[in-house]
């Protein structure tokens, strides 16, 4: 590897810059599912994969799939995947780092004429963030065979359903189940991802081996009180939906504090028809609760629900709680964790094992094949989902070298 030292990382960063040129917004990176910028990103990724020696297609839900064939005819396949959609005003590396790391590694294998007893499939998943249809993992669930058909009726803010958006690309949504891989063909799933947190940065380590991916539960809460005139209704007579929502936000923060791996967040709060001189009669808010294990998470959810009931009673409001998503925590394969750890150790770095608080495409493969993740250090205090997200070329390079090493030792 010494001949390529440093070069793979620089190439990854250069490609991330080029991919970020496709955006829904001028002057900021936003790549939302099946927008023109999203389609252009897929096309460019497909061209790069082809140039790196892969047979490439863009599947019916928009995943970019590049296949690097095995040394001999076989269906056995190791998938390397991550996503290319982004949040609004995003960083350039969330998701894309994993695709581009796989890309430079396969390009290197192709140039050096190296093939394995298994095929390597690089997949740029079309949708992970869940922005457009409030549904995460459209791309990876299609490939893993767990796509939820119920999501096809979901509509975006413009009233376009997921089924309509997919049909508009020329693919029949009824055929999504055909995109699933046969389980017996899968030899593993590997994902490289920016850590999106500060742990590796604080410990001065470039890489980490993921032990488990936290499951999350997402809810949409509607608080209904009584609207009224801000000047005429005395405080004691009010049933203020926003004041109740504020109590809920603080209750979530209180319950989720000081428990290892447990986190709770209200990321959206809306006051429909809100005005300065109107007591809010209605308030809607999101709720996201995660933990490294389902028991810890579910206990927190039960307590938060009980607290919401108490707040509703005390304030004379009603709270409707709608579950949007429920994902169980997924443990990474012990064998793949060891492969990553051994490869990290061979670079002279002490392997650090850590859980992922964020969900990743890998969760959808946990139950069906040997699944593992490698975290790459996130700079700038660990900030992600922001244009301030950074990765250094040196760290990206180490990530690529470790992924290459894992593939080389995969079936020993
Ligand atoms: Zn991501």
Are the CB atoms for 154 and 165 separated by under 8 Å?
A: no
Are the CB atoms for 210 and 372 separated by under 8 Å?
A: yes
| Secondary structure class of 99 (helix, strand, coil) | helix
For residue 192, how far is its CA from the centre of ligand 1 (angstroms)?
10
For strand 77-83 and strand 318-326, is the pairing parallel, antiparallel, or unpaired? unpaired
Which candidate, 243, 214, 228, 180, places its Cα nearest to that of 327? 214
Kindly list the structural domains of the chain, giving each domain's residue range(s) and its CATH number in brackets, ordered by start.
Answer: 2-214+329-408 (3.40.630.10), 215-326 (3.30.70.360)
Helix or strand run (H / E) with residue 323:
strand 318-326
Which candidate, 412, 29, 401, places its Cα nearest to that of 192? 401
| Planar angle of CA 307, 310, 312, nearest 5 degrees | 110
Give the span between the Cα atoms of 355 and 195, in whole angstroms.
Answer: 10
Are the CB atoms for 106 and 117 separated by under 8 Å?
A: no
- Number of neighbours of residue 331 by Cβ within 10 angstroms: 15
**DSSP string of 248-314, one letter each residue:** HHHHHHHHHTTSTT-EEE---EE-TT--TTEE-SEEEEEEEEEESSHHHHHHHHHHHHHHHHHHHHH
For residue 309, how far is its CA from the centre of ligand 1 (angstroms)?
34
Work out whether the CA dihedral 346, 347, 353, 354 comes out positive or negative: negative
**pLDDT per residue rounded down to tens, the chain (412 residues):** 444 557 999 999 999 999 999 999 999 999 999 999 999 999 999 999 999 999 999 999 999 999 999 999 999 999 999 999 999 999 999 999 999 999 999 999 999 999 999 999 999 999 999 999 988 899 999 999 999 999 999 999 999 999 999 999 999 999 999 999 999 999 999 999 999 999 999 999 999 999 999 878 999 999 999 999 999 999 999 999 999 999 999 999 999 999 988 999 999 999 999 999 999 999 999 999 998 888 999 999 999 999 999 999 999 999 999 998 888 889 999 999 999 999 999 999 999 999 998 889 999 999 899 999 999 999 998 999 999 999 999 999 999 999 999 999 998 6
What ranges in 358-392 are assigned the alpha helix state H?
none
For residue 96, how far is its CA from the centre of ligand 1 (angstroms)?
8
For residue 357, how far is its CA from the centre of ligand 1 (angstroms)?
11
Are the CB atoms for 291 and 261 separated by under 8 Å?
A: yes
Residues with CB under 5 A from ligand 1 (ion): 94-95
């Amino acid at each position: 590897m010494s001949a390529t030292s440093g070069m793979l990382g620089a190439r990854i960063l250069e490609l991330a810059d080029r991919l970020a040129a496709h955006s829904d917004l001028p002057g900021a990176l936003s790549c939302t599912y099946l927008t023109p910028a999203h389609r252009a990103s897929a096309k460019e990724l497909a061209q790069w994969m082809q140039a790196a020696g892969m047979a490439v297609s863009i599947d019916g839900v928009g995943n970019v799939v590049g296949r690097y064939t095995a040394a001999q005819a076989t269906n056995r396949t190791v998938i390397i995947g991550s996503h290319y959609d982004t949040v609004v005003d995003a960083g350039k590396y969330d998701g894309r780092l994993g695709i581009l790391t796989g890309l430079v590694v396969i390009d290197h294998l192709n140039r050096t004429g190296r093939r394995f007893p298994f095929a390597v499939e690089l997949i740029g998943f079309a949708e992970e963030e869940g922005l457009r249809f409030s549904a995460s993992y459209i791309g990876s669930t299609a490939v893993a065979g767990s796509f939820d058909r119920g999501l096809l009726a979901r509509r975006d803010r413009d009233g376009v359903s997921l089924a309509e958006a997919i049909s508009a690309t020329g693919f029949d949504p009824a055929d999504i189940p055909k995109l699933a891989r046969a389980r017996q063909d899968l030899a593993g799933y590997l994902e490289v991802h920016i850590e999106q947190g500060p742990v590796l940065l604080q410990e001065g380590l470039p890489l980490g081996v993921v032990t488990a991916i936290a499951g999350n539960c997402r809810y949409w809460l509607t608080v209904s009180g009584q609207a009224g005139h801000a000047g005429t209704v005395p405080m004691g007579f009010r049933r203020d939906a926003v004041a109740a929502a504020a109590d809920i936000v603080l209750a979530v923060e209180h319950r989720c504090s000081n428990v290892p791996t447990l986190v709770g967040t209200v990321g959206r709060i809306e006051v429909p028809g809100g005005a300065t001189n109107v007591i809010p009669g209605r308030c809607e808010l999101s709720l996201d609760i995660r933990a490294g294990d389902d028991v810890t998470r579910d206990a927190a959810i039960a307590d938060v629900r009980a607290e919401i009931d108490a707040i509703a009673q005390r304030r004379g409001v009603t709270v409707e709680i709608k579950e949007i998503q429920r994902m169980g925590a997924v443990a990474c394969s012990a064998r793949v964790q060891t492969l990553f750890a051994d490869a990290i150790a061979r670079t002279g770095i002490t392997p650090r094992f850590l859980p992922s608080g964020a969900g990743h495409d890998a969760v959808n493969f946990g139950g069906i094949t040997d699944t593992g993740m490698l975290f790459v250090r996130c700079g700038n205090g660990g900030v992600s989902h922001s244009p301030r997200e950074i990765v250094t070329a040196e760290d990206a390079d180490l990530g690529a070298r470790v992924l290459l090493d894992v593939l080389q030792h995969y079936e020993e």
